[in-house]
């Protein structure tokens, strides 16, 4: 047997080789088709093999693929920065381009800290995040992440940033019920600020809808308005981590647009280039840039591939494709159809505790008992079993578990926005079968 060289996520697991993709389907070298109902890692929003993106890629490659950002700028990078500013909630943003969502959140964190430094407020350098969150795998991003499984190995190296409770109504961490709770989860921020002192806090970071750390957890009405009000009153910048929710995924171009809140900084990634090339960004509002423009006039961060013209051209083509094919609206309409179908299916399956989400960022949470919402013992690995079973049947769904000890066995269903009704029905049929088969195994 020949030895392997590529480090894959699980080293003793067999990963099929994908030969090509078209629309919502991926095809492996054995001829097996997979419905990509997770858009990979909630990334391939416009589907696979889109000719317009390939054309844009070739066109830019024919001009220039790389220029170093400390020497030159490029037309695609300039255009993309302007386009994102026009689309983002409240407009008037600057863009700092990076290559991954982790770099985007970490850059946003650094810019927030630099903002306060340039104002002479050196002590404001902590970032508050939520206990159930994922902001990336690099050390800074992981420091801001409340994802137990991903943090565990590196805890001694991570910043001990403060955390507040998530707006997780299905299992309220404060044992309250909306609306009687009067948004106590948002007020937990106020308590944390009083404890730490606003003079030590640069920013608060949150995913508009919690993704991998919980499974499409939609906040209760009024939550972000309250959060933003608390942030503003305490001079704390609000970073919206839109790496998963951004660029049409939730049926709005930006997730935060559902809540009528304008963040001070936004992290983008994944859907920005829909998987065609690595591309991500930290968007920064004018007022955050102001002291930097007056002060050092430079952001202390950056990567060799930042603002890469090749990726910027791809990202522009992805945004044009989304607009031309009205995919924001498609995500909204198809999302409500799919959510309805998933709920109808789940009604008949006892181990589905909750079906939730917005647009085409949907999830199902599994429980061993619906009434008391008792989770399955983690050794059972219910999420992995369902994902594996679906995979065998040619359906790809995404895990959202392991973020918080003892809760949240969930899968994310987030297909490309170009999925058809027939494909959604096929998706639900396979998922139904897979869950039932796993249920028969674990409740035997
Ligand atoms: N932020 C959120 C909300 C994410 O979902 C992810 C990835 O799943 C990241 C940040 C990190 O992005 P990347 O994996 O591109 O580094």
Quick check: 340 pLDDT over 80?
A: yes
Decide: 244 in ligand 1 pocket, CB within 6 A. yes
Note the pLDDT tens digit of each residue in 256-273: 999 999 999 999 999 999
Quick count: other Cβ atoms within 10 Å of Cβ 373?
Answer: 14
Quick check: 404 pLDDT over 90?
A: no
**Which of 98, 101, 245 gets mutated to test ligand 1 (max ligand atoms within 8 A of its CB)?**
101
Q: What is the mean pLDDT of residues 7-11?
A: 93
CA 250 – ligand 1 centroid, Å: 16
Residue 146: the pLDDT is 86
Quick count: other Cβ atoms within 10 Å of Cβ 7?
Answer: 6
Q: What is the mean pLDDT of residues 13-17?
A: 95
85-94 in b/e form (b: 16+ CB < 10 A) is bebbbbeebb
In the chain, what are the domains?
18-49+326-442 (3.90.1150.10), 53-324 (3.40.640.10)
Decide: 114 in ligand 1 pocket, CB within 6 A. no
Torsion of CA 23, 390, 252, 321, to 10 degrees: -10
Quick count: other Cβ atoms within 10 Å of Cβ 247?
Answer: 32
280-303 in b/e form (b: 16+ CB < 10 A) is bbbbbbeebbebbeeeeeebebbe
Residue 356: the pLDDT is 97
ipTM of the complex: 0.99
* Alpha helices in 239-285, H assignment, sequence order: none
Decide: 390 in ligand 1 pocket, CB within 6 A. no
Atom of ligand 1 nearest to the CA of 103: 16
DSSP 198: G
CA 415 – ligand 1 centroid, Å: 17
Decide: 102 in ligand 1 pocket, CB within 6 A. yes
Average pLDDT, the chain: 96
Atom of ligand 1 nearest to the CA of 212: 5
**Which of 209, 244, 281, 412 gets mutated to test ligand 1 (max ligand atoms within 8 A of its CB)?**
244
State the Cα–Cα distance between residues 334 and 376, nearest whole angstrom.
31
Quick check: 403 pLDDT over 80?
A: no
Note the pLDDT tens digit of each residue in 179-230: 999 999 999 999 999 999 999 999 999 999 999 999 999 999 999 999 999 9
**Which of 135, 141, 151, 401 gets mutated to test ligand 1 (max ligand atoms within 8 A of its CB)?**
135
CA 143 – ligand 1 centroid, Å: 13
The reported pTM is: 0.98
Decide: 243 in ligand 1 pocket, CB within 6 A. yes
CA 422 – ligand 1 centroid, Å: 30
Cα end-to-end distance, the chain, whole Å: 39
Atom of ligand 1 nearest to the CA of 269: 15
Quick check: 296 pLDDT over 90?
A: yes
Decide: 36 in ligand 1 pocket, CB within 6 A. no
């Amino acid at each position: 047997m020949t030895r392997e060289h590529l480090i894959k996520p699980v080293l003793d697991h067999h990963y099929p080789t994908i030969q090509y993709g078209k629309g919502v389907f991926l095809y492996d070298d054995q001829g097996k088709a997979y419905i990509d109902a997770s858009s990979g890692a909630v990334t391939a929003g416009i589907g696979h093999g889109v000719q317009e993106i390939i054309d844009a890629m070739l066109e830019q490659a024919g001009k220039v693929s790389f220029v170093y950002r400390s020497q030159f700028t490029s037309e695609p990078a300039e255009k993309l920065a302007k386009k994102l500013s026009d689309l983002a909630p409240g407009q008037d943003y600057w863009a700092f381009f990076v290559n991954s969502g982790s770099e985007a959140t970490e850059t946003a964190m650094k810019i927030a800290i630099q903002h306060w430094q340039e104002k002479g407020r050196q002590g404001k350098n902590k970032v508050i995040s939520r206990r159930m969150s994922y902001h990336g795998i690099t050390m800074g991003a992981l420091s801001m992440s409340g994802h137990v499984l991903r943090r565990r190995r590196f805890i001694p190296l991570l910043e001990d940033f403060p955390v507040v409770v998530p707006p997780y109504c299905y299992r309220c961490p404060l044992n309250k019920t909306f609306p009687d709770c009067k948004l106590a989860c948002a007020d937990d921020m106020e308590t944390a600020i009083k404890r730490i002192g606003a003079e030590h806090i640069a920013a608060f970071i949150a995913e508009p809808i919690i993704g991998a750390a919980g499974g499409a957890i939609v906040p209760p009405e009024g939550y972000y308005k309250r959060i933003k009000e608390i942030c503003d009153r305490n001079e704390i910048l609000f970073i919206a981590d839109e790496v998963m929710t951004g660029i049409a995924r939730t049926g709005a171009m930006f997730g935060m647009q559902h809540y009528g809140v304008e963040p001070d900084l936004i992290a983008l990634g994944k859907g920005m280039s829909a998987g065609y090339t690595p591309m991500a960004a930290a968007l920064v509002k004018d007022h955050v840039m102001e002291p930097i423009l007056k002060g050092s006039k430079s952001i202390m961060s950056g990567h060799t591939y930042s603002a890469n013209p090749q990726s910027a051209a791809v990202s522009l083509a992805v945004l044009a494709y989304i607009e031309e094919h009205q995919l924001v609206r498609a995500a909204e309409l198809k999302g409500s159809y799919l959510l309805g179908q998933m709920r109808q299916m789940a009604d008949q399956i006892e181990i589905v505790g909750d079906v939730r989400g917005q647009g085409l960022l949907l999830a199902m949470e599994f429980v061993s008992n619906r009434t008391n919402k008792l989770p399955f013992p983690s050794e059972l690995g219910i999420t992995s079993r369902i994902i594996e079973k679906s995979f065998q049947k040619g359906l790809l769904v995404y895990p959202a578990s392991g973020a918080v000890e003892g809760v949240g066995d969930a899968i994310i269903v987030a297909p490309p926005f170009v999925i058809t009704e027939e494909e959604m029905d096929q998706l639900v049929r396979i998922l139904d079968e897979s869950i039932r088969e796993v249920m028969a195994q674990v409740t035997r």
